Amino acid sequence: MRIEEDCIGKLSVEDDALYGIHTLRAVTNFPISAERLNPLIIQSLIQIKKAAAQVNHVAGTLTTEKQRAIVAACNDLLLGQHADSFIVPAIQGGAGTSANMNVNEVIANLAMRQTPHLALSPNDDVNQSQSTNDTFPTAGKMALLIQLPGLLRAVAQLVQTLQVKATTYQDAIKVGRTQLQDAVPTTYGRSFSAYHHLFKRDLTRLQVAGKALRSVNLGGTAIGTGVNATPYYQQHILTVLNQNTGLTLQTAPDLIDATQNCDAFVEFSSAMKTLAVNLSKFSNDLRLLASGPQAGLAELNLPARQAGSSIMPGKVNPVIPEVVNQVAFEVMGHDTTVTMAAEAGQLELNAFEPIMLRDLLASEHDLQQALMTLVRHCLRDLTVNTATCATAVEQSAITATVLTPYLGYMATTKLIQRALANHQSVKARLLQEKLLPSALINDLFTPAHLLAPRQNGTQVQQA
């Protein structure tokens, strides 16, 4: 055991542990769950430490030997070595200080293990020119940006798949429904096209919100004033970090603003929440339209993925839309957490970024997986029962809506009532009563008239 000391006191640390006293205090203080800090945040923090060492060396505030030792340690860690040394909880107090110090301690101790004669300080050397208050939010934004392309690709695949379905079923007529009651006819081509445009807007929202994540406060140190950072460091840290990572981070116009305000996180969370809301509504529609198959709407055939009951033989449930619904509920809850955490920030710093980043990264990851699951295991092989849909249109009394320009609203209402009372279709009743010429009646009940605006200015017949 080795003894380490901080402002609180002394603590025993295992001799072979790469972490130190700050990390151990966090493990003891925050026993909230077994969930540890997201690996992408750790990776991003390591990248920041590596870039900082390179820039501080050129600035003349870090020796060549220390710079080489820190960079070498960072490179090993970025290859996945010693991942078990990052043990701080995902949910933690201290605005991310525990996360930052866990990384600082591991880098310093690994560097000294690799260069035994060298003395390195987690604070003075590895954390030089930095504060948790600029490194942690920057690392969080980096982590979100690393995951973002996968989410965007998943949304784009959904958009493309819906466009294909819209083309495939462009002429498949169906009964429209408002408030779960029959409405005028439409087609599945139009329905799928509407979903296509819905998620295309989600894609745009995510792209716009993602751009805001590129603005970071790195170089602002504690509260955005840049205390303890050299001008050279402030001017070059993002250049080196971007070169090392391939990201396109930009210095925020106002570092004090960027240090204390978290509206970029709220905006990104909101874009994901909107996507989740739309996914849940879409999943609800899929489950409703596929309901049955004998005693429901049965307009859609969802691919059978697994047996649906432990007691009812042959039952198959819409498990893919169901799991997407649940991810959507999770994301909406995460958005509430992010909203409240951002609002709870005080004065020059928001102390609640750990829970914000934990939930944002979880939402981003789970949405991507849910979208891929929905497309691969449900939508691609989804089919429409076109015959069932066409029969429903034929039998639906609401098709009489096309008669109101000729008969008027009340006369058409009474015609519908007579047809329903005699168990007839509206068309059959209309032909029987000879209220309009048969040729016109047959023409009005074709898809061309049922699905499109009026073609003439016919006046309502007066009773």
| Active site amino acids | 309
The three-class DSSP label of residue 375 is helix
Q: How far apart are CA 155 and CA 133, in angstroms?
A: 33
Identity of the residue numbered 180: L
- CA gyration radius, the chain: 31
In sequence order, what are the residues at sequence separation of 6 or more whose Cβ sits closer than 8 angstroms to the Cβ of residue 34?
Answer: none
CB 203 within 8 A of CB 156: yes
Question: What residues form DSSP beta bridges with 250?
Answer: 215
Q: Are 204 and 152 in contact (CB under 8 A)?
A: no
Secondary structure class of 251 (helix, strand, coil): strand
Using DSSP bridges, classify how beta strands 181-187 and 2-5 pair: parallel, antiparallel or unpaired. unpaired
Looking at 79-176, list the stretches that DSSP marks H as alpha helix, in order from N- to C-terminal side.
97-114, 132-168
- Bridge partner list, 186: 174
Q: Residue 270 and residue 176: Cα distance in Å, rounded?
A: 31
Would you state the structure tokens that stand for residue 139, as one six-digit string? Answer: 């690392």
* Residue 328: Cβ within 10 Å count: 26
What DSSP state is assigned to residue 129?
A: T
Q: What gap in Å lies between CA 407 and CA 397, rounded to an integer?
A: 15
Give helix then strand counts, H and E, for the chain.
17, 8
Report the alpha-carbon distance of residue 19 to residue 103 in Å, rounded. Answer: 8
Cα–chain center distance at 381: 24
